[in-house]
Amino acid sequence: MNWIHLASIIGATLAIAIGAIAPAIGQGRAVAAAMDAIARQPDAAGTISRTLFVGLAMIETMAIYCLVIALLLLFANPFA
Amino acid sequence: MKFASPFENHVLFMLGPVPVSQAVATTWGIMAVLGIACWAATRRLALQPSRVQVALEYVVEMIATQIRETMAAEPRPYLPLIGTIFLFLLAANWSSLVPGIEPPTATLETDAALALIVLGATLWFGIHARGLKAYLESFAQPSILLVPLNIVELFTRSFSLMVRLFGNVMSGVFMIGVVLSLAGLFVPIPLMALEMLTGAVQAYIFGALAMVFIGSAISEARTHTPPSQEPFS
């Protein structure tokens, strides 16, 4: 195990660990806002939850990018 | 412990000079199952519907309602594309429940093909609804300075569509593989249930985003006002 492997593993864990924080905060805020909106206007629950799902997928993409980067480092590393 | 790379494809057999991977074979299988099931179910349509026909009509009506609400347009021209994408993705994401089958959406190539279809459909419906000149002019909205940005956005959102589906499905398959290699027989079952939920949500999201993209390409045709802001990119 040379230092490139070591750096790849550390980089992959850091990427997924740090990259999960911000989307988690963002998704939490989005769900809280949607709950608030549904509580105020229960009639609009269908529209709100549809928009919420699409928005959550958008936010989640950031975490997925980090996951793909981590897997690229581990499995398809161009330098190792 | 070694895990197979999620970026590699397992070639099943050669069709002449063309290698056929496992994902392609699974896709063909899903296409055959869906096609034969739909053909068999729509063979005898009656005014007094049978149980199967009621279920089918419910599904079609549900997708049509979603299209009407999301795109604010008559669903008929878009129903075949969106409905097929949604049903195929649902079947593909849930195909991992069959033992020995990996979902074809867990490989990058299938998702890239689906995202390219959505990109092509966006361009086609946009040009179809507004004419070539008006559609090209919509890239210069609200300012001519935004042309490069709008063109780049067209491709980055297709790319993110691809990576989102790939990442979600592949990570589920990968996670189940890791847990299965650590602990035995019944432990991965809750994860597989979660994976079913994720698969359904991702199929819905992919279809909804295709609707939003196509809708944003055609919607400016009717209003002729500068688009206020696109909610999703």
DSSP H or E stretch at residue B20: strand B18-21
> To which residue do tokens 């074809």 refer?
B104
Query: What is the model's pTM?
Result: 0.83
The whole-angstrom distance between A54's CA and the closest CA on chain B is 6
Interface with chain B: mutation pick from A54, A72, A75, highest number of B CBs within 10 Å:
A54
B115 CB near a chain A CB, below 8 Å? no
pLDDT at B226: 45
The answer to whether B208 contacts A53, with C-beta atoms less than 8 Å apart, is: yes
How far is Cα B57 from Cα B61, in angstroms, rounded to an integer? 6
What pLDDT was estimated at residue B98? Answer: 86
Per-position pLDDT tens, chain B of length 233? 566 777 777 777 777 788 888 888 899 999 999 999 989 888 878 888 888 888 889 999 999 998 988 888 888 889 999 999 999 999 999 998 888 888 899 888 899 999 999 999 999 999 988 888 888 888 887 788 888 888 998 899 899 899 999 988 988 888 888 888 888 778 888 888 888 988 998 999 899 889 989 988 887 655 444 444 445 54
Q: CB A76 to CB B160 under 8 A?
A: no
The pLDDT of residue B12: 78
pLDDT computed for residue B2 by the predictor: 64
φ/ψ region of B50 (left if φ > 0, alpha if ψ in -120 to 50, else beta) reads beta
Which residue's entry shows tokens 């793909």?
A: A68
* A4's tokens: 């490139």
Angular region, B35: left φ>0, alpha ψ -120 to 50, beta rest: alpha
Question: Which pLDDT value is given to residue A74?
Answer: 85
pLDDT of residue B123: 92
Q: Which residues are paired to B20 by β-bridges?
A: B13
pLDDT for B142 equals: 79
Residue B204 with chain A: CB contacts under 8 Å: 53
Residue B118's pLDDT is what? 95
Tokens representing A23?
Answer: 């989307």
Three-state secondary-structure class, residue B131: coil
* Total CB pairs under 8 A between chain A and B: 50
C-alpha to C-alpha distance for B170 and B199, rounded to whole angstroms: 10
Do B118 and B158 contact (CB within 8 A), yes or no?
Answer: yes
- Locate all alpha helices (DSSP H) within chain A, ordered by sequence: 3-40, 45-75
Q: Cα–Cα distance between A31 and A49 in angstroms, integer?
A: 9
Q: What kind and span of H or E run contains B12?
A: strand B11-15
pLDDT of residue B84: 93
Residues of A with CB under 8 A from a CB of B: 47, 50-51, 53-55, 57-58, 60-61, 64-65, 67-68, 71-72, 75-76
Helix (H, G, I), strand (E, B) or coil at A9: helix
Token representation of residue B55: 């279920």
Which helix or strand (DSSP H or E) is residue B173 part of?
A: helix B147-182
Burial B177-203 (b: 16+ CB within 10 A, else e): eeeeeeeeeeebeeeeeebeeebebbb
- Give mean pLDDT, residues A31-42: 94
Question: Given an 8 Å threshold on Cβ–Cβ distance, is B168 in contact with A76?
Answer: no
Q: A23: how many CB neighbours lie within 10 A of its CB?
A: 19
Question: Taken in order B64, B66, B67, B69, is the CA torsion positive or negative?
Answer: positive
ipTM of the prediction: 0.76
